[in-house]
Structure 1
Amino acid sequence: MTAKLCHLVPQKKAILVSLCISVVLMLAKFGAYFMTHSNAILTDAAESIVNVLASGFAFYSIYLATLPKDENHPYGHGKVEFFSAFVEGILIAIAGLIIVFKSGYDLVFPREIKQLFEGAVIIGATGIINMLVGFYLINTGKKHRSITLEADGKHLMTDAITSAGLVVGIILIQLTQIFWLDSVISILLGLYIIYNGYKLTRRSVGGLMDESNMELVKDIVSILQENRQESWIDVHNLRAQQYGADLHIDCHITLPYYYDLNQVHHEISAIDQMINVNAEHTTELFIHADPCLPACCNYCKMKNCEVRQEAFQKEIPWTVDNATKNQKHFDQ
Structure 2
Amino acid sequence: MSIATSARTLSPQFLLRVSIIVALVTIALKTLAWWVTQSVGLLSDAMESLVNLASAAFGLLMVTIARRPADADHPYGHTKAEYFSSGFEGLCIFLAAAGILWAAVQRLFHPQPLEAVGMGLALSVVSSVLNGVLAWVMLQSGRQHRSIALEGDARHLITDVWTSVGVIVGVALVAATGWQWLDPAVAIGVALNILREGVALMWKSSQGLMDEALEPEVLDEITRTLETFKHPTIRFDHISSRRSGQRRFVDLHMHMPASWTLGRAAAVRASVEQALMSAVPGLRATIQLLPTNVETHSADEEDLI
Fold match by TM threshold 0.5: yes
Residue-by-residue CA offset, 1:154-201 (whole Å, 9 max, x unaligned): 111110110111111122212111111001111111101000011011
TM-aligned CA deviation for residue 329 of structure 1? 6.0
Alpha-carbon distance in structure 1 between the residues aligned to 2:85 and 2:233: 40
Equivalent residue for 1:141?
A: 142
User: Which has the larger displacement, 264-273 or 210-219?
Assistant: 210-219
In the alignment of these two chains, the number of paired residues is 295
* Residue of structure 2 equivalent to 1:327: 300
* SS of equivalent residue, structure 1 residue 111: coil
Q: 2:283: which partner in 1?
A: 283
Shift of 1:252: 2.3
Aligned-pair distance for 1:20? 0.8
TM normalised by structure 1 equals 0.82
Paired residue for 2:223, among 218, 221, 224?
Answer: 221
SS in 1 for 2:11: helix
- 1:246 deviation in Å? 2.4
Amino acid at match of 1:35: V
Q: 1:158-177 residue pairs with structure 2 within 5 A?
A: 158-177=159-178
Q: Distance in 2 between matches of 1:158 and 1:65?
A: 26
Identity within the alignment, %: 27
Structure 1 contact 232–253 (Cα < 8 Å) conserved: no
Distance 1:219-1:330 versus aligned 2 partners, 3 A rule: closer
- How do 1:11-90 and structure 2 match up within 5 A? 11-90=12-91
Of the structure 1 ranges 39-48 and 126-135, higher mean CA displacement relative to structure 2 is found in: 126-135
Structure 1 residues 81 and 230 mapped into 2: Cα distance closer, same or farther (>3 Å)? same
| TM-score of the two chains, using structure 2 as the length reference | 0.89
Q: Report if aligned partners of 1:35, 1:119 keep a CA contact under 8 Å in 2.
A: yes
Q: Aligned letter for 2:223? A: V
Matched residue SS, 1:120: helix
- Tell me the SS of whatever aligns to 1:113: coil
Question: Residues 255, 101 of structure 1: CA spacing in aligned structure 2 closer, same or farther, 3 A cutoff?
Answer: farther
Q: Tell me, which stretches of 5 or more residues in structure 2 are unaligned?
A: 1-8
Once the 2 structures are TM-superposed, how far is the Cα of residue 218 of structure 1 from its aligned partner?
A: 3.2
- Give distance in 2, aligned partners of 1:277 and 1:251: 17
Query: CA 1:111–1:258 in structure 2 vs 1: closer, same or farther (change >3 Å)?
Result: farther
1:273 counterpart residue number = 274
- What residue is the counterpart of 2:238 in the other structure? 237
Closer/same/farther in 2, CA of residues 114 and 9 from structure 1, 3 Å limit? closer
1:233 Cα shift?
A: 4.4
The verdict on how the C-alpha distance between 1:130 and 1:330 changes in structure 2, with shifts beyond 3 A counting, is closer
Larger Rg: 1
Aligned to 2:132: 131
Amino acid at match of 2:48: E
Could you tell me which residue of structure 1 aligns to residue 5 of structure 2? none
Q: Deviation string for 1:23-61 (max 9, x for gaps)?
A: 111111111111111111011100111111111111111
The Cα offsets for residues 106-156 of structure 1, whole Å up to 9 and x where unpaired, read as 111223321222211211221121111111111111111111100111111
TM-aligned CA deviation for residue 236 of structure 1: 3.1
CA deviation digits over 1:216-244, x for unaligned, max 9?
Answer: 3233223333x233157443332333333
* Preserved contact between residue 121 and residue 168 of structure 2 (Cα < 8 Å): yes
Q: Which runs of 5+ in 1 are unaligned?
A: 1-7, 295-324
Partner of 1:248: helix, strand, or coil?
A: strand
**Does the 8 A contact of 2:222 with 2:279 survive in 1?**
no
Output aligned runs, 1:256-271, within 5 Å: 256-271=257-272
Describe the shift of the 1:25–1:329 C-alpha distance in structure 2 as closer, same or farther (beyond 3 A). Answer: closer
- Counterpart in 1 of 2:4? none
Instruction: Report 1:296-307 matches (<5 A).
Output: none
Q: Which moved more, 1:198-207 or 1:60-69?
A: 60-69
Query: Distance in 2 between the 1:54 and 1:287 partners?
Result: 38
In 1, Cα distance between equivalents of 2:61 and 2:303: 49
